Structure 1
Amino acid sequence: MHCVRAWRSVRPLCRGGRDLWKSTQRQASVARVDLSGIYPPIATPFTATEDVDYRSLEENLQKYSKIPFKGLVVQGSNGEYPYLTEEERVEVVRTVKRSLPKDKLLMAGSGCESTRATVQLTEKMAAAGADVVLVVTPCFYKGKMDSRALIQHFTKVADSSPVPVVLYSVPANTGLELPVDAVTTLSQHPNITGLKDSGGDITRIGLIVHKTKAEDFQVLAGSAGFLMAAYCVGAVGGVCALANVLGAEVCALERLCVSGRWEEARVLQQRLIEPNAAVTRRLGVPALKQAMEWFGYHGGACRSPLQPLSETETQQLRKDFTSNGWL
């Protein structure tokens, strides 16, 4: 928080202000949180009446504690956060914090459509125990969400946030990709520590890493389907839906990449592509929850209007896992 106050104090300065700002930022970056590693964006279990099932959530957390994750992402897209009330979103974070080992990072989604609401929810997430917040691009008025608007939005959130901010670009859900020039500008803010990029464009990820390396900015792959490729161009980890199901295997892929065992990594990566695509872009959260049930976790139903898989979709999902040797 001290670095944010310092940045605020130097930002209004004119010609010499930016140099002082960047000097302050470089000093602050030393203390930035280390994001490197794998994070499952955990699902939110619901009861038959579509209430949040906190008991099942805690049982999932007990199993995840045995996997070498860097931390957990709570209230990401796979947590069905658009369908939860603000009170539910905060309470889920609070519940996870109580169960999470102290050496694990808790990254909580706090993005809302308005800047004002995002600032307020970010403060509540930090108070509930979040170590870092994940802020998705506002997208309802996507035609007006150009770089100028997005830079202003994320800057105001980061100025006020008690914890570091990670930008979240997920064009498959928002229809909006956070522009590279906006990411480059925002990377200079001392309280913005990284980006989760779920678009899957490896050229873009490599370019962002290249353009932000002077700021010690950290990029996380938003999917297990391109995790190895993202590591090749400089990503430091991944927020991977498939890690809810094959957490140990996704962590194994991370270790192979970090240690430079690229041939072994390639073989494992290829076996993860089809099941990953099934539980993300192709069949989405209902498929993720079904797969969780097969692997001993509590997935359960989705909250309406999301619907369970059809029989045909369930058969295809099972085939994607069995044909790659996971079931």
Structure 2
Amino acid sequence: MLCVRVWRGLSPRCRGGHLTAWNRSRSHTGAAAAKLDLSGIYPPIATPFTAKEDVDYHRLQENLQKYAKIPFKGLVVQGSNGEYPYLTEEERVEVVRTVRRSLQADKLVMAGSGCESTRATVQLTERMAAAGADAVLVVNPCFYKGKMDSHALIQHFTKVADSSPVPVVLYSVPANTGLELPLDAVVHLSQHPNIVGLKDSGGDITRIGLIVHKTKTQDFQVLAGSAGFLMAAYCVGAVGGVCALANVLGQELCELERLCVSGRWEEARVLQQRLIEPNAAVTRKLGVPALKQAMEWFGFHGGACRSPLQPLTEAETKQLRRDFSSNGWL
């Protein structure tokens, strides 16, 4: 029997109940039994800093005002592009609180709450929910990656999901963690009533398609973790994307989503091809400093990264500009 998530239809008070997810009924009826629909495009927003490397909440709010004009499904806050490893726990929570206060009520806030220990992840997840997150994005622990086999990861995510007041989205980003969430672990965890999906940043379309196939009897949704393979991910059953490039070319990513959903594949292909090089530049090639530089060119506040991340060199900045201008974006 398919499990149905009820979170979006429940009041915040009901969402906060401490029910054990594995023991909850897998079947619900009534108007309140509506799942959390993840479909759509989300920018994993950057964190602006002042010259003294404090979080610049004023500039953050100015970025949010501009993003409000783009048809995003919501925002991912404190993902990899938010430099979350360099923020204190208090800063991480306060950034989420600021975003929720500024964002329209119908837009989702997906907050990164992953920590190295299960205990810390459970505690931060609860704080993110209290700060207004509609869902949490939980990256796998990776410091002791040699011991993070399927058994350990299933236990970790199960304990987090059991106690989380809001739905959990798994986050696999092997470029940063050195560890891809094992397929068998994802399939097992998809059966948990409080785990609603996966953000997969690995870029292996065969794997994404297989995950969609193997979880088709569950109420489980897969999000592409990068704009470079967004169209391909839609082709194999993904429902949306969490894309760094959406911080810069958000309207264009939403247009690509619209073309894919409406089956206009030839137009989608042309647009997708123009997005591959700039996307690679602000992700695997030049990373967060490049994303922040590109944001400045497109009228957003990117600014400097928090140390030890360094600004782009002159040569890297020229390469970044070429990757955007050669595809007609600058």
Shorter-chain TM-score bucket reads over 0.9
Task: Give the Cα separation in 1 of the matches to 2:329 and 2:19.
Answer: 50
Q: Say yes or no: does 1:109 pair with 2:112.
A: yes
Write the letter of the residue equivalent to 1:44. T
Write the letter of the residue equivalent to 2:92. R
Q: Quick one: which of 5, 15, 19 aligns to 1:5?
A: 19
Task: Give the Cα separation in 2 of the matches to 1:213 and 1:89.
Answer: 34
1:216, CA displacement in angstroms? 1.6
Task: Give the Cα separation in 2 of the matches to 1:96 and 1:209.
Answer: 31
Q: Quick one: which of 197, 201, 215 aligns to 1:198?
A: 201
Task: Give the Cα separation in 2 of the matches to 1:234 and 1:35.
Answer: 13
Task: Give the Cα separation in 2 of the matches to 1:291 and 1:51.
Answer: 21
Q: Which has the higher helix share?
A: 1
Gaps of 5+ in 2: 1-14
Task: Give the Cα separation in 2 of the matches to 1:4 and 1:269.
Answer: 43
Q: State the partner residue of 2:97.
A: 94
Task: Give the Cα separation in 2 of the matches to 1:25 and 1:318.
Answer: 51
Q: Quick one: which of 158, 161, 165 aligns to 1:158?
A: 161
1:26, CA displacement in angstroms? 4.6
Q: State the partner residue of 1:228.
A: 231
1:32, CA displacement in angstroms? 2.1
Write the letter of the residue equivalent to 1:25. R
Question: C-alpha deviations, 1:72-117, integer Å up to 9, x for none?
Answer: 0000000000000000000000000110001100000000000000
1:5, CA displacement in angstroms? 2.4
Q: Say yes or no: does 1:144 pair with 2:158.
A: no
Write the letter of the residue equivalent to 1:144. K
Q: Quick one: which of 227, 241, 244 aligns to 1:238?
A: 241
Task: Give the Cα separation in 2 of the matches to 1:162 and 1:238.
Answer: 24
Question: C-alpha deviations, 1:182-231, integer Å up to 9, x for none?
Answer: 00000000000000000000000000000001012000000000000000
- The change in CA–CA distance for 1:7 and 1:58 in structure 2 (over 3 A counts) is closer
Structure 1 SS opposite 2:284: helix
Q: Which runs of 4+ in 1 moved over 4 A?
A: 1-4
Q: State the partner residue of 1:209.
A: 212
Q: Quick one: which of 275, 280, 284 aligns to 1:281?
A: 284
Task: Give the Cα separation in 1 of the matches to 2:169 and 2:327.
Answer: 33
Q: State the partner residue of 1:168.
A: 171
Task: Give the Cα separation in 2 of the matches to 1:2 and 1:106.
Answer: 16
Structure 2 SS opposite 1:73: strand
Listed as ranges, the matches of 1:285-296 within 5 Å are: 285-296=288-299
Identity of aligned residues (%): 85
Q: State the partner residue of 2:304.
A: 301
Task: Give the Cα separation in 2 of the matches to 1:71 and 1:143.
Answer: 35
Q: State the partner residue of 2:261.
A: 258
Write the letter of the residue equivalent to 1:157. V
Task: Give the Cα separation in 2 of the matches to 1:260 and 1:26.
Answer: 32
In the alignment, is the contact (CA less than 8 A) between 1:25 and 1:188 conserved in 2?
Answer: no
1:4, CA displacement in angstroms? 7.3
> RMSD across aligned C-alpha pairs, in angstroms?
1.5
Gaps of 5+ in 1: 11-23
1:9, CA displacement in angstroms? 3.7
In the alignment, is the contact (CA less than 8 A) between 2:296 and 2:303 conserved in 1?
Answer: yes
In the alignment, is the contact (CA less than 8 A) between 1:4 and 1:190 conserved in 2?
Answer: no
Task: Give the Cα separation in 1 of the matches to 2:288 and 2:137.
Answer: 19
Question: C-alpha deviations, 1:123-179, integer Å up to 9, x for none?
Answer: 000000000000001000000000000000000000000000000000000000000
- The change in CA–CA distance for 1:270 and 1:8 in structure 2 (over 3 A counts) is closer
Task: Give the Cα separation in 1 of the matches to 2:17 and 2:212.
Answer: 23
In the alignment, is the contact (CA less than 8 A) between 2:46 and 2:292 conserved in 1?
Answer: yes
TM-score by length of 1: 0.94
In the alignment, is the contact (CA less than 8 A) between 1:187 and 1:217 conserved in 2?
Answer: yes
1:6, CA displacement in angstroms? 6.0
